[in-house]
Structure 1
Amino acid sequence: MTDVLVYVTDVLQNIHDGNLEYCKNLRYQGQPNAEVEQFNQVFGKLLERQIYLEKEVAYYKSLLNENDSIVIINDRVSTTSDEEPPQVPQVPTKTSAEIEISPNNYDALRNHIMSFPHKTADTFDSESDPETPPALEHDRLCLDCLNQCTNVALAVSTGDFKQRITCPYASGPMLTLKNAMNIMADKIDHVSVELIRNAREVGEEGKLGVQAETQNIEGDWKEMMVHLNMMASNHSEQVRDIAEVCTAVAHGDLSKKITVEVKGETLVLKNTINTMVDQLNSFASEVTRVAHEVGTEGKLGVQAQVQGVGGTWKLLTDNVNTMAANLTAQVRDIADVSKAVARGDLSKKITVDVKGEILDLKNTINTMVDQLQTFATEVTRVSLEVGTEGKLGGQANIKNVGGIWKDLTDNVNLMASNLTDQVRDIATVCKSVACGDLSKTITVD
């Protein structure tokens, strides 16, 4: 019996002295009996409760600064500071409900907490919930819940939406706070996931028509998601309309325009593309008209009229008009020379500045005119000498001719040569007859 009393005294003394770690490892060394086993059960539950209360006291202690103190009034704890005196009722004396505790006197706080109503060791069922420490009857502050709430709030503030409060000891307002924090984190996480998915699918993968899920979302969260979906829907409609018009332009269809309702910079883009389509349409129509009138109808001097164009469109229009003007000048100059040749005027030549194949045509026509002029000059000279001046033996001298021009030259020269032979043979016979010599006859073929 003495051993039991020593054991019980040792246990109670160490609990009183706060040696809780020592008590956790303390065991009765004598012969076990029913009374000792019952004491051990009560002792174990008391030790668990004492450890829990020590945690509570340590938490309140951590709230104090160097010059702070804790004032407990009507079972409520508040911190005070030397610089800012606490607003507490003035009472003449301190009672058990009003205890001022300095940083060096935490035992009073612990004793006061110990005086709160609580479940006794007899009523606490450790077997049904061995992990749960003895709880106070009234709604109390759970340190684990508070720490986890702080961690979740800090995680959310830094962009980590995966943290949750998992403390199983929450009750009363702390349970409400726990559930509210977890629901808030769930909804923020859902919104974050949907925002990231929408941004990835629309911005990176180029998917249109993507919508965020709004199930189980309420209030401002739902309104934000609704506006997000509205933005995505409007964006899809606008991009698809723009893509349809651009595709039509690429296929040569200039009849389509952007018709979707837009505002802001997208409206500027819409107007710009529609203006581009109008200018392309006008440019295409004018180029087609000029090409048809010049190339098919043979009208020269036609110019494309495209109003309100600039940059490349103006440059293209100017180039088309320059081409039409140059072609007109070239054709008209060639026509003038051809008409002059047809009228027998070989004094004109093509003088317009040209390049490429048109230059070859110009040189060819001018060479033809030169050859015609030389041929005409030589034929005229031979005809004049033979027919008018009576000079026989004259020959047309035309260099660098070929084809029909050479044949004509050869025929003229042959005619002049034959005529010379014939006239000279006839003249020889006539002279002989005149001289009384009748022995000669005309032998020329």
Structure 2
Amino acid sequence: MYLISVEGGDGSGKGEAARILKEIVSDFPFPAVVMTHEPRRTSPIGMLALESVKKGDKTPLQEAALFAADRLDHTHTWILPRLQRGELVISDRNIHSSLVYQGSVGSLGYRKVALMNAGAAIPDLVIWVDCDPAMAMKRINRGTLRGSSQKAEYFETNELQTKVREGFHELLGNPEKAPAPFDLCTIAGPILNEGSKKQLKKDLSIAIRGFLNKRPPPLNVDAQVVDRHHLQRLVEGMSTQKRLPGSPIESTSLMEDWLAGRSPASWLEKAEKAWLIAKARESDVASSCIHHSIWSLMGTLSFIPSADVPSLRRHLGPVRAVSQRHTQRLVKWFEKIGWTHRQQIHVPFSDAPTFKIGAEWIGFGRMVLALWPMQTHLAEWRRRCPKEDTANAMNWILDEDRMPKDALDKLLEATTARLQMLTSGHLGCPAPTTIAEYKVWWSSHPKG
């Protein structure tokens, strides 16, 4: 989902920072956290780029072309497929290294280098690791940063590393300097790496957690597509859940007829009646059940047999992530209002209580996951129309005078794609696709 690049001069400690970042983000519900670097040592083009900086026999333009070719191939064959699956990619160097080394130090200019990389992925977050060039050269000369190769790169001199550091300060310290589209990146730094590893980890943790907790929209992929990948995994996981010998197969009502004879509007009405607003505020949870965190947790619980807080958070995925503290608070609230109940089962190596969604609330959970793209629209409708009957909500959301046609088409497309995975919720009834069909599906039983 996100591409995190770690940038800085040679010997600044980027590799160590990347490894620490991977450890920190293990707390977040990404399906995988993968590490890479540029240029690649596993790619023929990447090896040519590496060789060019070892020999120093290429012009800055030739160097930039080799790095760009490797980066474009890396983007489209390796990085983007992982981002679309919701994975977090941590890259030791990316586009900003080319902007500094060839654009600034090599005097090509930022714009020319950016144009050569126009089809490359845009780092969502740039972690800028800084270090005094003299200290960096000491690390380089100890030989621990070069791996198996003992051949120095021509950039590995105190003079050039001073220019590289100045280049990073000019580029990353002045966001307006970055050329489009790389001006969209969030910059965290400079993070000074001249002290203890403990201090470095603390500074990196503040940077990465601050970024991820804001849940910014990803720059390279559509968040709706990412969450559909995760939803598909939930659906497939439910179909392969292990059963005790002799226990019944998952009933059709839960797999295909999950609306259980109700319209979506009546499910929302039921949930709003059960949501005790005054007590919700006392418990420090949202005053409305039409809320990102509530939909995320209830929707996920409707697909898993039981969970404790850590396992529930792992099932949420990166788009619908909820913090551990807020998850704990909501789980207690759900139990208080009868939406979930505790399970009296023992989980090996865990003392955390487990809980399960009440059978009478599975339909609501499935519905909110199906309607996830419409969550903010439903919340806005309820704020504007606090006394309005839920049956009228879809008429307001899909009003063609309220939303531009392309935005409305995109909303329907995203929601329909989810319903085609989950079914319409009514046995034998196809998923809606048009505005008229959505209005009927929302407020009516298929036999009504």
Asked whether the two chains share a fold, i.e. TM above 0.5, the reply is no
Hey, which of these two has a bigger chunk of strand by percent?
2
Name the TM-score, length of structure 1 as normaliser.
0.21
Q: Which has the higher contact order (CA 8 A, sep 6+)?
A: 2
Name the TM-score, length of structure 2 as normaliser.
0.21
Larger Rg: 1
